[in-house]
Amino acid sequence: MSQMALACDADISARHLSFLESGRSKPSRQMLLHLAACLDVPLRDRNLLLAAAGFAPAFEERAYGEAALDAIRRSVEMMLAAHDPNPALAVDRHWTMLASNRAVAQLVAGADHSLLRPPVNVLRLMLHPAGLAPRILNLSQWRAHIIARLRRQIDLGGDPVLMDLLEEVRDYPAPRGGALPESGGGQSTIAVPFQLATIEGVLSFFSTCTVFGTPVDITVSELAIEAFLPADPATAEMMRRVSQPTVAREEVSAFKMWHGS
């Protein structure tokens, strides 16, 4: 964002903004928070900005399991349950799974137990050779999508944990092939689908990401719900079928047998 654009967004003069940038004027705590909001700086980094200027932090960071976040957890669980029979899960800023619905368990049942042991990292579970990677038909495209999202997160906050995760993911064996499989309907021209091979056929999903719109807690601001929507009628029908309790148990057992788990 240019200086003039920021001054307009912040409703201050370009001259005053220039003085703040050059150090000729010292910003108040309120002005720092105002400018950080205009620049959409993450809450975690706003605290760092305040500390660098000699001010106390403005935003708390509570653990996801704390009583203070009971209403948030209930909301997340309600959203995940409402998304059944399609997969949906909640993750923190490091892609650690915080909660998931029943459909997620059906899809990951064949992964190595070491990847399913808490804390579960969703990106590792998806892209590790012992995870879902061997069953992702468009692994090249999906891997590129995941890496691009990681890069954006790192560019925004410079998180060292995410940097290490990116290096780890990039070191996994390179997927073979580069083209999307033929799936009909021209869906590859709309968005990159998540295409997973199962014993019942190919499941194809579009992914979505939901975040809280007005968080004032760091944990809540970094929480995201990753949900998957059927990209074709066959996927929608299969997910409806396996959502039945008896069928779902048989499906999970079949996935385990298929992968030798």
- For residue 225, the domain's CATH number is 3.30.450
Q: Nearest 10 degrees: CA dihedral of 131, 159, 119, 71?
A: -120
Q: Does 140 lie in the same domain as 190? A: yes
Query: pLDDT, tens digit, for every residue of 60-108?
Result: 999 999 999 999 999 999 999 999 999 999 999 999 999 999 999 888 9
∠ CA 207-211-212, nearest 5°, is 155
Q: Give the model's confidence band at 48: pLDDT under 50 very low, under 70 low, under 90 confident, else very high.
A: very high
Q: Does 185 lie in the same domain as 76? A: yes
Q: Does 119 lie in the same domain as 31? A: no
CA 152/CA 142 separation, integer angstroms:
16
Q: What is the mean pLDDT of residues 241-247?
A: 72
Angle between helices 3-10 and 14-22 (to 10 degrees): 110
The yes-or-no verdict on residue 248 having pLDDT over 80 is no
Supply the range of the domain harboring residue 16: 3-52
139 within a domain of the structure (yes/no): yes
The confidence score (pLDDT) of residue 156 equals 84
The yes-or-no verdict on residue 3 having pLDDT over 80 is no
Q: Does 234 lie in the same domain as 120? A: yes
Beta strand 88-91 pairing with 224-230: antiparallel
222 within a domain of the structure (yes/no): yes
191 within a domain of the structure (yes/no): yes
Q: Does 124 lie in the same domain as 16? A: no
Q: Does 155 lie in the same domain as 211? A: yes
Q: Does 130 lie in the same domain as 15? A: no
209 within a domain of the structure (yes/no): yes
239 within a domain of the structure (yes/no): yes
Exposed e or buried b for every residue in 29-43, given b needs 16+ CB within 10 A? eebbbbbbebeebbb
Q: Does 84 lie in the same domain as 24? A: no
The confidence score (pLDDT) of residue 104 equals 94
Please list, in sequence order, all residues whose beta carbon lies within 8 angstroms of the beta carbon of residue 117, skipping any fewer than 6 positions away: none
Q: Does 151 lie in the same domain as 43? A: no
Report the domain count for the chain: 2
62 within a domain of the structure (yes/no): no
Q: Does 80 lie in the same domain as 14? A: no
Q: Does 117 lie in the same domain as 26? A: no
Q: Does 46 lie in the same domain as 101? A: no
